[in-house]
A and B are shown apart, each in its own frame.
Chain A
Amino acid sequence: NAGVTQTPKFQVLKTGQSMTLQCAQDMNHNSMYWYRQDPGMGLRLIYYSASEGTTDKGEVPNGYNVSRLNKREFSLRLESAAPSQTSVYFCASSFDPGNYGYTFGSGTRLTVV
């Protein structure tokens, strides 16, 4: 089925550990995004990639890095995980930055202990 695929679905990390969240889309979209969702906070943009080869910071980029590997794939890396990064992470894609009919993945639930 066409859409956005995120891996893993669940992850528990110890403080200070690193990990990479993977995201891939098969809709030939140009733009990709990483959000985090916390209770009572709504969705907050971490980083986005308007097109292949570009990345920009969103609202809450500190503690994260991203890589737009190719048109299909956009990864999010936590270099040294902190408990404050416990959250649900969503990847999304759209045809272009002005198209807000985003398609979201099913999310990665990350717990940092």
Chain B
Amino acid sequence: DGGITQSPKYLFRKEGQNVTLSCEQNLNHDAMYWYRQDPGQGLRLIYYSQIVNDFQKGDIAEGYSVSREKKESFPLTVTSAQKNPTAFYLCASSTSHNTEAFFGQGTRLTVV
């Protein structure tokens, strides 16, 4: 089945630790995205990548880093510099054409 997979679904980390969230897609999509959802805030764009080895900052990139070494994979690292890392993180992918983006099931990150 084609789709986009995020892992793990729930993640707990201690304050000050970096953590990497996985996102893999087998839809052969060129573009991939990371969004963050907080209560009452909707979905805010962290980073996006339109081709391999290239990515751009979104609206709230501070404290995050990404890589795009393979077309299928777009991991997100939440660094200790991110002041409020506890949130629901969503990865998405799309073609480069006039179509919708497909989302993964999300990762709930809790920093204690």
A and B form one complex: no
